[in-house]
């Protein structure tokens, strides 16, 4: 059985706990064991904390990476922000030994050391690359007939030079994962565009962030999709909270929730009461 | 007329923005930028300003904070400039110079207080309990020793003073 250190992050456990719950249930059904990282903190957020002070970002990320390393496990994340942050930090610390030594001087203050061995994985990518589409299909008990918009977000695939998962301009991983449930991923314009939330834009300049969201929602509407399927709780939040003021009402589901539905989870277990835009299944 | 400040190159390099110098000003970044469609932010202009070392102009402009770090520019840059790293480097320089927006500061304060960038509240505790999850997520929020360790790190890097 594949086993990973489960990195929760901030928005999933603290704003959309149904994403956490669905991930736990779906992983169990797919034979993936999740071990809680009970000492973990924020990743920390790449667009804000890293933008304020890179040294702090790297040291706090290294602490999270070291926690998993101590358990002998690789990290699995359910958030593009956590994935971007921890993957990038792991990459930098793996490539630059002098930087690793500097960070370890800070970790030494809490009796820790990071050796540079932790690999950071994204839930969607683990499902695609490790479990595989055919094995996923064999676990689907309730085939879905939804027409949906696949929302990749940014830090899942980019920077592609180091992520090397899929074509960042014309990706297919998430579309394939969605279609494994029987749902149809509808083609649309600008499908790899940012939701608007990242980089501190939602916090600092929310009106500009909402303009991004509006463009995406218009493209989704034009595509004929009825649901938005994301792989990032921050994109999830941006669409779920933001669309009401823009006059849209697309139910927003994280991939783990879509899989939860297709694998027979009870609607109550999906945590849909936390959603601001009602989700009718 | 602008007065170039070549010394800025070393400051930028110290924060990881060194390869701004590779830019030959084609403008692919600006054309790819979703923020540039909605705001006065021009990615190419920022990189040019970084090359010229127009430090005060860059760190005082709200344009610096319009980037969502979506990497659309970086993916397409024909010179391989790590544009997002350049933006992050200039933001680090801005914050070190005391230029930080109140709402951004709040995110930093959350990290210091909770160890997470968002707060915990009774509503989410109830939702978690309903789902059969522990009311408080199994992270630093439920682990005093781990939170104390994080605090030591945030103090060692000076983040407490930077935000506080």
pLDDT (tens digit per residue) in A229-252: 999 999 999 999 999 999 999 999
B127 closest CB neighbour out of A47, A209, A271: A271
Chain A contact present for B54, CB below 8 A: no
Instruction: Tell whether the model's pLDDT for residue A267 goes beyond 90.
Output: no
Counting residues of chain A whose pLDDT is more than 90, the rounded percentage is 98
Please report which confidence band the pLDDT of residue B164 belongs to, taking 50, 70 and 90 as the band edges.
Answer: confident
Q: Would the ipTM clear 0.85, i.e. be above it?
A: yes
Residue keyed to tokens 């839930």: A123
In chain B, residues with a C-beta closer than 8 Å to the C-beta of A196 are 34, 68
Instruction: Tell whether the model's pLDDT for residue A1 goes beyond 80.
Output: no
A218 CB-near residues (< 8 Å, 6+ apart): none
Res A22: pLDDT: 98
Res A280: pLDDT: 86
Chain A contact present for B133, CB below 8 A: yes
Contact present, A195 and A213 (Cβ < 8 Å): yes
Alpha carbon distance A28, B96 (integer Å): 45
Contact: B38, A211; criterion CB under 8 Å: yes
Alpha carbon distance A140, B27 (integer Å): 47
Q: Is the peptide bond before A222 cis (omega within 30 degrees of 0)?
A: no
| Coil/strand/helix, residue B123 | helix
Q: What is the mean pLDDT of residues A251-259?
A: 98
Res B43: pLDDT: 98
Alpha carbon distance A48, B105 (integer Å): 9
Judged by CB atoms within 8 Å, which residues 56-95 of A form the interface with B?
Answer: 56, 59-60, 63
Q: Which residues pair with A28 in a beta bridge?
A: none
Res A251: pLDDT: 97
A107 CB-near residues (< 8 Å, 6+ apart): A59, A62, A63, A66, A113, A114, B153
For residue B150, give the nearest of A39, A31, A261 by alpha carbon. Answer: A39
pLDDT digits (tens, 9 = 90+) for A138-151: 999 999 999 999 99
pLDDT digits (tens, 9 = 90+) for B73-130: 999 999 999 999 999 999 999 999 999 999 999 999 999 999 999 999 999 999 999 9
Element (H, E) at A83: helix A80-95
Residue keyed to tokens 């940014």: A154
Judged by CB atoms within 8 Å, which residues 25-44 of B form the interface with A?
Answer: 34-35, 38-39
Contact: A17, B68; criterion CB under 8 Å: no
Counting residues of chain A whose pLDDT is more than 70, the rounded percentage is 100
Look up the pTM and report it: 0.97
Contact: A154, B156; criterion CB under 8 Å: no
Contact present, B42 and B36 (Cβ < 8 Å): yes
CB pairs below 8 Å between A and B: how many?
211
């Amino acid at each position: 059985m594949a086993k990973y250190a489960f990195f929760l992050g901030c928005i999933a456990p603290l704003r959309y706990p149904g994403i956490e719950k669905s991930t736990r249930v779906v992983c169990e059904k797919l034979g993936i064991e999740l071990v809680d990282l009970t000492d973990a903190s924020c990743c920390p957020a790449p667009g804000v904390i890293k933008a304020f002070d890179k040294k702090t970002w790297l040291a706090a990320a290294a602490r999270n990476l070291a926690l998993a390393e101590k358990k002998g496990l690789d990290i699995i994340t359910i958030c593009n922000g956590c994935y971007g942050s921890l993957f990038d930090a792991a990459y930098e610390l793996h490539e630059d030994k002098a930087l690793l030594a500097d960070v370890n001087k800070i970790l030494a203050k809490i009796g820790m050391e990071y050796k540079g061995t932790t690999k950071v994985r994204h839930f969607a990518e683990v499902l695609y690359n490790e479990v595989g589409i055919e094995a996923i299909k064999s676990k689907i008990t309730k085939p879905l007939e939804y027409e949906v918009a696949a929302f990749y977000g940014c830090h899942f695939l980019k920077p592609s030079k180091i992520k090397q998962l899929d074509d960042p301009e014309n990706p297919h991983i998430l579309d394939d994962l969605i279609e494994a449930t029987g749902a149809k991923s509808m083609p649309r314009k600008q499908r790899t565009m940012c939701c608007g939330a990242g980089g501190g834009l939602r916090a600092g300049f929310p009106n500009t962030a909402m303009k991004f969201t509006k463009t995406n929602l218009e493209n989704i509407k034009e595509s004929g999709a009825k649901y938005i399927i994301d792989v990032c709780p921050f994109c999830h939040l941006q669409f779920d909270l933001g669309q009401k003021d823009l006059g849209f009402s697309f139910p927003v589901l994280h991939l783990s929730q879509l899989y939860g539905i297709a694998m027979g989870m009870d609607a109550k277990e999906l945590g849909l009461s936390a959603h601001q835009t009602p989700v009718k299944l | 007329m602008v007065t170039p400040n070549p010394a800025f190159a070393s400051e930028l390099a110290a924060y990881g923005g060194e390869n701004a110098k590779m830019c030959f000003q084609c403008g692919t970044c600006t054309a790819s930028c979703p923020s540039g469609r909605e705001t006065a932010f021009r990615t190419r202009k920022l990189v040019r300003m970084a090359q010229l070392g127009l430090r005060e102009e860059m760190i005082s402009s709200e344009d610096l904070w319009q980037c969502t770090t979506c990497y659309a520019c970086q993916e397409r840059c024909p010179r391989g400039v790590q544009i997002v790293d350049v933006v992050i480097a200039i933001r680090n320089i801005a914050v070190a110079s005391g230029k930080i927006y109140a709402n951004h500061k709040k995110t930093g304060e959350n990290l210091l207080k909770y160890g997470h960038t968002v707060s915990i509240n009774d509503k989410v505790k109830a939702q978690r309990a309903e789902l059969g999850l522990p009311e408080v997520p199994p992270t630093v929020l439920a682990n005093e020793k781990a939170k104390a360790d994080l605090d030591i790190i945030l103090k060692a890097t000076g983040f407490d003073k930077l935000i506080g």
